[in-house]
Structure 1
Amino acid sequence: MIQIEYILIISAVMMFAGIFGFLTRRSTLAILLSIELMLNSADLNFAVFNRMLYPNGHEGYFFALFGIAIAAAESAVAIAIMINIYRLLKDITVDKLEKMKW
């Protein structure tokens, strides 16, 4: 069985990779992927802490499943917004989004 510390290290690496990608990317699609990476890291933490604190419980797994459903809905809305941005500006980089402000 894999030790919990190793899974938490993987989760921390995923979170930092997501934060780095969110702060350094210019494309809205790359930013969306970075956000998804951070959400998956949080879901992994839900499952690991459930295993550690309540070995026979399933609460953490239900939280992770709920988080995955929220991430899927967020991705669908974000991709719809990106399609509209591309239709208006013919580019999906963050630098061009100044035109969409008030």
Structure 2
Amino acid sequence: MIHLLGPYLLAAVLVGLGVAGVAVRRNAVLLLVGVELVLSGGLVLLVTTQAAGADRWAAGSVLPLFVVTVAAAEVVVALAVVLAAFRARGSIDLDAPATAQDAP
């Protein structure tokens, strides 16, 4: 049986950094990094809970593989959207005001 303080603390730190990153970032790429940190913290918590459980729930070790796969696809699509926005606006600053050339 593993000691649960370390992994729970790691999950809390990852989620906290991710939420702080999403809350204060203006750059779209760094916002995506914050979302991925939150997702990683949730996965650490899921795997820790599975490893500490007495019944050894099998989905606790298989489900993260699916989540990582979906997260990789999400990053590819999100970066494509950010790249398209950069090409259209010339900036990926989320707080920048829209200019006349941004309108369709």
Q: TM-score scaled to structure 1, two decimals? A: 0.88
| Paired residues for 1:45-56 under 5 Å | 45-54=45-54, 56=56
Confirm whether residue 39 of structure 1 aligns to residue 39 of structure 2: yes
| Structure 2 residues not aligned, in runs of 5+ | none
Give 1 or 2: higher helix fraction: 1
Residue-pair matches, total:
102
Partner of 1:69: 69
Alignment check: 8 A CA contact 1:89 1:96 kept: no
Give CA deviations for 1:49-94 in whole Å, capped at 9, x if unaligned. 1111246442101111111111111101100000000100010010
Between the aligned partners of 1:101 and 1:54, the Cα distance in structure 2 is: 57
Classify 1:50/1:91 alpha carbon distance in 2 versus 1 (closer, same or farther; 3 Å). Answer: same
| Paired residues for 1:1-102 under 5 Å | 3-54=3-54, 56-96=56-96, 98=98
Alignment check: 8 A CA contact 2:2 2:52 kept: no
| Structure 1 residues not aligned, in runs of 5+ | none
Alignment check: 8 A CA contact 1:12 1:41 kept: yes
Between the aligned partners of 2:6 and 2:67, the Cα distance in structure 1 is: 22
Q: TM-score scaled to structure 2, two decimals? A: 0.87
Question: Which structure has the greater CA radius of gyration?
Answer: 2
SS of the residue corresponding to residue 61 of structure 2 reads helix
Give RMSD over aligned pairs: 2.1
Task: Work out the percentage of aligned pairs sharing the same amino acid.
Answer: 25
